[in-house]
């Protein structure tokens, strides 16, 4: 019996072990156990059970050699992301460009809401500051999100930014996410030049970057694991209910106990402390406007009926 992080590895007949999926590619799952990588496939019963192994999953598997193994079971997850498909994430690093593509409060808040919902700690990394001419915009973005309590990495000195990021990696599974062309792969290449991850320029026609990362892989960096994942430019709220949404805004959570009504949705209710703080400038109006838009999107979709656990 060997401890591997918080997971105990039980060797049964020298073949059945517990490990973590570090890469998924072309139907194969690459599982690491005791610093050894095994190429495996998922058992057919996963499909019947409607289970899909994800990068980051802890699994029990069997293998007679390094290239011919089978995943037998998935261990319980603490969370999972669909886009990107990663499980057991500790830190979500949202890479948002200030220019090319243009900065979007709406897009950033979509990422933050989804991370809050999955109980993943968010970190905001503002990229392409060397191309930014409007320094007031940068100051405003930092002020809005730092006031809420989010960590914002946005020094004009890129080496300082990278050093700040690397300090966060230790003992954590971190995911880089953000719109295409924001510079996620470029950033990881600077953190670990040996990775040589593919990058692509912004499309002049579409005004957004091309997808350059074709699979999800956990990379060992500075004592932790970091996922480089495909970029994308929009996020929908598939699981979050209208009731849950206000709880995904930390500044709303802080104000809610002072609302007149206990289950205040912060829209039309009288005596709403959230709306009062927006009027007083204590809560950023752009965040409140995004909240109203997200709420409208959720209310227009088909009802979500959650199964009792």
Gap between the Cα atoms of 8 and 13, Å rounded: 16
Binding residues for GTP: 127-130, 178-186
- Cis status of the peptide bond prior to 41, with omega within 30 of 0: no
Residue holding tokens 């293998």? 63
Looking at the chain, how many residues does it have? 309
Q: Which residues are annotated as a binding site?
A: 127-130, 178-186, 259, 264, 266, 272
Rounded Cα distance, 52 and 118, in Å: 18
Binding site members for Zn(2+): 259, 264, 266, 272
- Where are the alpha helices (H) located in the chain, listed in sequence order? 45-48, 105-117, 135-148, 158-169, 184-191, 250-255, 273-279, 285-300
> Interhelix angle for 105-117 vs 135-148, to 10°?
20
| CA–CA dist 188, 176 (Å, integer) | 9
Nearest alpha carbon to residue 233 among 178, 156, 308: 178
């Amino acid at each position: 019996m060997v401890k591997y992080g918080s997971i105990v590895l039980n060797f049964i007949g020298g073949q059945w072990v517990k490990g973590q999926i570090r890469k998924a590619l072309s139907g194969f799952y690459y599982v690491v156990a005791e610093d050894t990588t095994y190429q495996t496939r998922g058992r057919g019963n996963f499909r019947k059970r409607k289970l899909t192994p994800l990068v980051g999953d802890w699994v029990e598997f069997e293998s007679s050699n390094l290239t011919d193994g089978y995943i037998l079971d998935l261990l319980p997850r603490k969370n999972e992301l669909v886009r990107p498909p990663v499980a057991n994430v500790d830190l979500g690093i949202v890479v948002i460009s200030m220019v090319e593509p243009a900065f979007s409060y709406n897009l950033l808040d979509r990422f933050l809401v989804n991370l809050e919902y999955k109980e993943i700690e968010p970190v905001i990394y503002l990229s392409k500051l060397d191309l930014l001419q409007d320094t007031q915009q940068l100051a405003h973005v930092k002020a809005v999100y730092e006031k809420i309590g989010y960590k914002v990495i946005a020094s004009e000195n890129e080496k300082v930014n990278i050093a700040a990021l690397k300090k966060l990696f230790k003992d954590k599974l971190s995911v880089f996410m953000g719109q295409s062309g924001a510079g996620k792969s470029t950033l990881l290449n600077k953190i670990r030049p040996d990775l040589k991850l593919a990058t692509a320029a912004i499309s002049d026609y579409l005004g957004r970057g091309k997808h350059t990362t074709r699979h999800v892989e956990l990379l060992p960096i500075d004592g932790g694991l970091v996922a480089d994942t495909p970029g994308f430019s929009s996020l929908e709220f598939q699981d979050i209910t209208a009731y849950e949404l206000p709880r995904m805004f930390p500044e709303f959570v802080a104000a809610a106990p002072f609302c007149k009504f206990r289950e205040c949705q912060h829209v039309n209710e009288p005596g709403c402390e959230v709306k009062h703080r927006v009027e007083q400038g204590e809560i950023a109006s752009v965040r409140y406007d995004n909240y109203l838009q997200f709420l409208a999107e959720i209310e227009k979709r088909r009802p979500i009926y959650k199964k009792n656990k």
